[in-house]
Amino acid sequence: MNKDLIIIGAGPSALALAKALAHSRLNITLIEQQSQQQCAQPDYDGRDIALTHQSLAILKQFDIWSKLQAHPIAAAKVQDGHSPYTLNFCEHTQPLGFLVSNHHLRQALYETVAPQPNVNFIWQTKVQQVIKSELGYRVTLCDGRQFDTPLLVAADSRFSATRRQVGISATIKDFARTAIVCRMRHQLAHQCTAHECFHYGHTLAILPLSEGESSIVVTANTDKAADLLALSDDEFNRFITNALAHSLGDMQLSTARFSYPLVGVFAAYFSKAHVALLGDAAVGMHPVTAHGFNLGLVGATRLAKVISEAIDKNDTYYSEQTLAAYHSEQQKEARMMYYGTNGIVQLFTSENPPAKLARKILLRFSNHFPPLKQAITAKLTQYG
C-alpha cells in the first residue's frame, strides 16, 4: 500500500508537521508505538516547556494557543555557585517566554490533528524495517504490514532506529548527567522570574508557574542524581529549600519526581532524497537553554513549507533538492544552538578553578555589556 508521506513517531514535532500539512493534498500516515489513549490524554511527565515568541506565533497559527494554560516568564536570573551575584534578563514590553506543560501541549496538538481527513494514525505498532524501494522507502511493521512512500520522515526520538536504517549517522554526546523534574509549592512569590543556578555539583532551574508554584529541574551527575531520587519527599523538600537559600521560603513537592538521562544528538544531515529527520531524531538538545521543543516546532513548519511550495509548483516534494532547503536552514540554526548549549554546559558544570573564574567574569561582563546581553536575550526568546 502506498502513502504520500509516512511519519514515524507521533510526538509534538511529528504532530506539528501533520498539522502544518493538513490542508495539502498529501495522504499522511503517522506510525506510533503508544496507544491512541496515551496520545489523546497523555499523563503528566514532569516536564514544563519554555516557549519562545516564535513558537507562540506558530501555536496561534495552529489555533491551539487559547487551549493552553500558559505561564509568563517576565524575567530570568543566572547565578554561579553560591555567589549572590546574578546575570539578569528582562524585557519591559512583553514576557521573555511562556511555560506550558508538555502533556498539555501534546494533547492540544493531537486534538487539532486527529480530525484532519488526510491524516491517519497507526497505533501501538513498532517499525521492524525501513529499506529503499522503487517509490522511495518501504516500511515494514512488526505485524507484517508494508507501506511504500516517496517521503519518509523520522521523528522517533534522539535514539532513532529509522535514522540509522536510512543511513544517516549522528554524533551522540552522553553528558553522564540526569535531569530530575517536578513541581513544588513555595511560601514566597516567584514574581514570574526564572532562575538558573549553576551550583557546584548540580544545576538547579526554577521556572515560574501559577502563583506559589514552580517547575523544578535539577541536573547532576547520574550517580548523585540517583541519591537525590532516593531521598524521601521531606528530605528532597529540605534539599531544594537549602539550595535556594530559602529565597522562596519552604519548598514542598506538589507532584512526583521524574528523571531523564541527558544525551545530546546531532545528525550528520537532516535530509536526503525521500527522507527527512525531524525533532529529536535530527537534534537532541541539553535542556539548559530550553530550546529543544522550540527547535523541533520550527523545524516542522520549515519542512512543511518546502514540501507545500514544491507541491504548489508541481515539483517533486520528496526530491533531494527540495528537502535540501529544509536541511540547510534548520541545520544552520540547530548547529549554533546545539554546540553553543554544549559549550555553556561544559563551562558552567566544570569544577576546575579556571572555569569557575571564567564564568564569574562572563556573568559580570554580560551584565555590563548591553549589546551582548541583548543578543543573548533575542536568541533565547526568538521574537518574530
Mean pLDDT score, 149-155: 98
Mean pLDDT score, 293-304: 96
372 pLDDT exceeds 60? no
Instruction: List, in sequence order, the alpha helices (H) in the chain.
Output: 12-20, 36-40, 53-61, 102-113, 161-165, 222-230, 233-243, 292-312, 320-349, 353-367, 370-381
Mean pLDDT score, 196-207: 89
Mean pLDDT score, 348-370: 65
Mean pLDDT score, 39-64: 96
Mean pLDDT score, 11-40: 97
DSSP state of 2: B
* pLDDT level of residue 356 (50, 70, 90 thresholds): low
Backbone angles phi, psi at 167, to 5 degrees: 85, 30
Mean pLDDT score, 207-222: 96
Give the H/E segment covering residue 382.
none
What is the percent of the chain where pLDDT is above 90?
A: 79
Name residue 79's beta-bridge partners: 86, 197
Mention the CATH class of domain 5-172+262-381: alpha beta
Residue-level pLDDT at 308: 98
What digits encode the pLDDT tens for the residues 228-271?
999 999 999 999 999 999 999 999 999 999 999 999 999 999 99
C-alpha cell at 221: 551527575
Contact 79, 196 (CB under 8 A): yes
Any residues with CB less than 8 A from the CB of 84 and at least 6 apart, and which? none
357 pLDDT exceeds 70? no
Name residue 50's beta-bridge partners: 99
Residue-level pLDDT at 346: 74
Residue-level pLDDT at 340: 86
Lowest mean pLDDT among 135-139, 198-202, 213-217: 198-202
Task: Please compute, for residue 161, the number of CA atoms within 13 A of its CA located in the half-sphere on the CB side.
Answer: 10
Residue 279's nearest CA partner among 5, 11, 6, 4 is 11
Contact 124, 34 (CB under 8 A): yes
What digits encode the pLDDT tens for the residues 168-182?
999 999 999 999 999
Residue-level pLDDT at 383: 37
Structure-model confidence comparison of residues 252 and 374, the more confident one: 252
Quick check: helix, strand or coil at residue 14? Answer: helix
